[in-house]
Amino acid sequence: MSSPTTGKTTRAEYCVVACAEVWRHAGEVLAGPMGTVPAIGARLAKLTFAPDLLLTDGEALLIGDVPALDARAQVVEGWLPYRQHLALVATGRRHVMMGAGQIDRHGNQNISCIGDWSRPARQLLGVRGAPVNTLNNPTSYWVPKHSTRVFVEQVDMVCGVGYDRAAEAGPSATRFHHVPEVVSNLGVFDFATPDHSMRLRSLHPGVTIEQVLAATGFALTVPDEVPYTREPTSEELRLVREVIDSKGARDREVPA
C-alpha cells in the first residue's frame, strides 16, 4: 500500500500545484483564493516558494501562520476590515483567484447571470467586485469543470474585464489590468499571444489537447509544443496531503 507522500499524484493535486504557481514571485501581496483548490494552492505557495505572501482568515484578520484548510489560525498579524481590504485592491496589492460562470477567449468573465440580463435563465453571484479587481490588481481564474458552458465565445454579461474590453476603454482601464492565468481541471491557460487571446500553456497529465479543444467553445491558441503541468515535489505532496488538506477536500472539488 502506498504511503500518503508516495501515492500517485491526483488530478486535484496537479490543479493545486498549478494554482500555487499563480503566486510565484508575487512578493508581499495579499492572496485572494476563491474555492477549495485555490485556497490549498495559496497555502502551499506560502509554505514553499512564496513565504512573503499574505493570507487572511477569510473574514477580517491577516494571519501569520498557515492553518490547515479546516482549522483556525493561531497567529494573527493584523486587522483587515472590509474597507482596508478594498484599499489593498485599489492599490494593486492583491492577487485574487476568482471563479467564473463563463469566460471568453479574451478573459472577460461572468459571475452574474446566464442569459439576457433583463430576463436571465440562471442567476449567479452577481457582479460583486469583479470590475474593480480586474482593473486594479492581478486577477486569475479557477474553473473546476472545464466545459463549453464555461469557456464560451461571448460571455452573457461582463463582470471581470478582459483584454479586449480593457483596450476599448483606453489607458485608464489598461494601466493596471492583468489577467495572468486561468487554471481548470484540464490545464493551465494564459493570454501570452499578440492579441491577448487565450492560449493553452500546459496540460495536466492524462489530458489530451483534443479533450481541451472539445471542451472549449472558442478558438484556442495551441502552441506546437505543449508541456505538462509540473509534478509536485515529494515535500509539496506531503504538505498537501498531511498538513493543509488531510481530509481530501481537493478531491471533492476535482474528482479523480
Segment 27-81, tens digit of pLDDT: 999 999 999 999 999 999 999 999 999 999 988 899 999 999 999 999 999 998 8
In a domain? residue 132: yes
Cα–Cα distance, 5 to 246 (Å, whole number): 11
The pLDDT of residue 4 is above 80 = no
What is the pLDDT confidence band of residue 89, given thresholds at 50, 70 and 90?
A: confident
- The angle that helices 11-21 and 36-47 make with each other, rounded to 10 degrees, is 60
% of the chain beyond a pLDDT of 70: 98
In a domain? residue 32: yes
- Phi and psi of 32, rounded to 5°? -125, 70
The pLDDT of residue 231 is above 90 = yes
What is the pLDDT confidence band of residue 3, given thresholds at 50, 70 and 90?
A: very low
In a domain? residue 1: no
Reported pTM: 0.94
- Provide the domain limits for residue 212: 11-250
Q: What is the pLDDT of residues 100-155, one digit of tens each?
A: 999 999 999 999 999 998 899 999 988 888 998 899 999 999 999 999 999 999 99
The pLDDT of residue 209 is above 60 = yes
Neighbours of 137 (CB within 10 A): 22
CATH label of the domain that carries residue 68: 3.40.1080.10
Query: What pLDDT, on the 0 to 100 scale, is given for residue 1?
Result: 30
Cα dist. 221→56, 88, 127, 186, 202 in Å?
Answer: 36, 33, 28, 15, 12
In a domain? residue 255: no
In a domain? residue 4: no
Number of domains within the chain: 1
List, as one string, the DSSP characters of the chain. Answer: ---TTTSPPPHHHHHHHHHHHTTTT--S-EEEE-SHHHHHHHHHHHHTT-TT-BEE-SSSEEESS---TTS--S-EEEE--HHHHHHHHHTT-EEEEE--SEE-TT--EE-SEES-TTS-SEE-S-STTHHHHHHHS-EEEEESS--TTTB-SS-SS--B--HHHHHHH-HHHHSS-----EEESSEEEE--STT---EEEEEPTT--HHHHHHT-SS--B--SS-PBPPPPPHHHHHIIIIII-TT-HHHHHS--
Cα–Cα distance, 239 to 48 (Å, whole number): 9
